[in-house]
């Protein structure tokens, strides 16, 4: 992959959420190939280990350590970050890659709607937990949040983030969560201004990965539709490695050092939607997220 060519990450530690599938696998591959120690997080340790073994069999040189992390479970996030801080440095690179798309209405262990709960609340809690040790490094560190162009169809309902009092929309919820990723990244960039931590967010392109599982379902008809879409849209699809290239650019490109908070598409800085540049909303969403997390964590004695 061009984005990682000539980059030496020896001595660095990276965390990649959802490292067991799709774009995540190729992100782990690229970072570990450049010599980073990579903590591959996965809901299923078995699935993560399978990928780690394959990458090692492919000759990837950096250490790949698999750790269990379920972003739809605040106890799992706290368990992970506590152990991480005791055992590892930084991380130098925190890649918020995991995501769920357009699933039917369902809830995380803590009662958050699944898409905003996983894509936004889970990653927010993880970043909040790891940020102090990233800052303590005092050397350049980056947070990279994988958002989506789908943020353009999202809007934030601060009063009802979890669809408790409005009709659920699987795509509306995905758009809301991906818009939240950009707003939080911009607010975090503001809050870390002048520090060693830089923050980026991005659209990876359109890639045929298991992300679409809820769109097509598991029936024969769903599989047939998926195949047809795959054939018709083939010229526009990127490979998972091409999809990961924008995450890797965000993680390592020296050209971005002075541009914390930007949104990338095809490895280039692009303007996200107007809603994604609303810094008043970013601050309100940040405060609301902190409040809801504090309430949920109090119930769990975290």
Ligand X SMILES: NC(=O)c1ccc[n+]([C@@H]2O[C@H](COP(=O)([O-])OP(=O)(O)OC[C@H]3O[C@@H](n4cnc5c(N)ncnc54)[C@H](OP(=O)(O)O)[C@@H]3O)[C@@H](O)[C@H]2O)c1
| 34, 146, 179, 182: residue in contact with ligand X (rule CB under 6 A) | 146
- Give the interface segment with ligand X, choosing from 28-36, 50-58, 69-77, 262-270 (CB under 6 A): 69-77
Quick one: which of 264, 125, 271 has its CA closest to 199? 264
Nearer to ligand X, 61 or 107 (CB): 107
Q: How many residues bind ligand X (CB under 6 A)?
A: 29
x/- track of binding to ligand X for residues 208-227 (CB under 6 A)? -xxx----------------
| 90, 91, 154, 204: residue in contact with ligand X (rule CB under 6 A) | 204
Cα–Cα separations (whole angstroms), residue 34 to 9, 62, 248: 5, 7, 11
CB atoms under 10 Å from CB of 82, counted, come to: 12
* Residue 104 interacting with ligand X (CB under 6 A): no
Residue carrying the six token digits 């055992």: 87
Question: Measured from the CB of residue 92, what is the shortest distance to ligand X in angstroms?
Answer: 21
263 a catalytic residue: no
Question: Measured from the CB of residue 266, what is the shortest distance to ligand X in angstroms?
Answer: 12
Residue carrying the six token digits 């991906």: 178
Nearer to ligand X, 104 or 210 (CB): 210
- Cα gap 22→301, rounded to integer Å: 35
Nearer to ligand X, 46 or 257 (CB): 46
Using CB atoms within 10 Å of the CB of residue 16, give its burial: 0 to 12 exposed, 13 to 18 middle, 19+ buried.
buried
- Cα gap 17→69, rounded to integer Å: 8
- Cα gap 247→119, rounded to integer Å: 16
DSSP strands (E only) in 150-282:
197-203, 263-265, 268-270
Find residue 201's DSSP bridge partners: 145, 263
Nearer to ligand X, 149 or 165 (CB): 149
Using CB atoms within 10 Å of the CB of residue 91, give its burial: 0 to 12 exposed, 13 to 18 middle, 19+ buried.
buried
Question: Measured from the CB of residue 48, what is the shortest distance to ligand X in angstroms?
Answer: 9
Question: Measured from the CB of residue 193, what is the shortest distance to ligand X in angstroms?
Answer: 26
Question: Measured from the CB of residue 196, what is the shortest distance to ligand X in angstroms?
Answer: 25
| 13, 70, 92, 172: residue in contact with ligand X (rule CB under 6 A) | 70
* Residue 18 interacting with ligand X (CB under 6 A): yes
Cα angle at 34 between 77 and 97, to 5 degrees? 30
* Coil, strand or helix at 41: strand
| 100, 179, 251, 282: residue in contact with ligand X (rule CB under 6 A) | 100
Find residue 200's DSSP bridge partners: 144
Nearer to ligand X, 137 or 215 (CB): 215
Quick one: which of 152, 120, 95 has its CA closest to 272? 152
Tokens encoding 14: 């990276």
* Residue 249 interacting with ligand X (CB under 6 A): no
| 13, 81, 127, 148: residue in contact with ligand X (rule CB under 6 A) | 148
Nearer to ligand X, 210 or 254 (CB): 210
* Residue 101 interacting with ligand X (CB under 6 A): yes
Catalogue the active-site residues. Answer: 174
Residues in contact with ligand X by CB under 6 A are 17-18, 20-24, 43-44, 47, 69-72, 97-101, 118, 146, 148, 203-204, 206-207, 209-211
């Amino acid at each position: 992959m061009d984005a990682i060519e000539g980059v030496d990450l020896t001595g660095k530690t990276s965390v990649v959420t959802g490292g067991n599938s799709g774009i995540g696998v190729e992100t782990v591959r690229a970072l570990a190939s450049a010599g980073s120690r990579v903590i591959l997080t996965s809901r299923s340790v078995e699935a993560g280990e399978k990928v780690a073994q394959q990458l090692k069999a492919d000759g990837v040189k950096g250490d790949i350590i698999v750790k269990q992390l379920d972003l739809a479970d605040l106890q799992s996030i706290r368990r992970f970050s506590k152990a991480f801080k005791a055992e590892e440095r930084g991380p130098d690179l925190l890649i918020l890659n995991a995501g769920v798309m357009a699933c039917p209405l369902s809830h995380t262990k803590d009662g958050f709607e699944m898409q905003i709960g996983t894509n936004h609340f889970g990653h927010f809690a993880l970043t909040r937990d790891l940020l102090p040790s990233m800052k303590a490094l005092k050397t350049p560190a980056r947070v990279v949040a994988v958002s989506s162009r789908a943020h353009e169809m999202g809007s934030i309902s601060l009063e009802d983030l979890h669809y408790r009092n409005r009709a659920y929309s699987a795509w509306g919820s995905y758009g809301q969560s991906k818009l939240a990723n950009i707003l939080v990244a911009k607010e975090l960039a503001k809050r870390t201004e002048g520090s060693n931590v830089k923050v980026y967010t991005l659209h990876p392109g359109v890639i045929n990965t298991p992300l679409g599982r809820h769109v097509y379902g598991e029936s024969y008809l769903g599989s047939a539709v998926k195949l047809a879409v795959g054939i018709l849209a083939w010229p526009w699809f990127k490979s998972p490695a091409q999809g990961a290239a924008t995450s890797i650019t965000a993680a390592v490109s020296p050209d971005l050092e002075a541009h914390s908070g930007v949104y990338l598409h095809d490895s280039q800085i692009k303007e996200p939607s107007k809603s994604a540049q609303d810094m008043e909303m970013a601050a309100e969403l940040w405060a609301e997220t902190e409040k809801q997390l504090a309430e949920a964590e109090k119930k769990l004695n975290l």
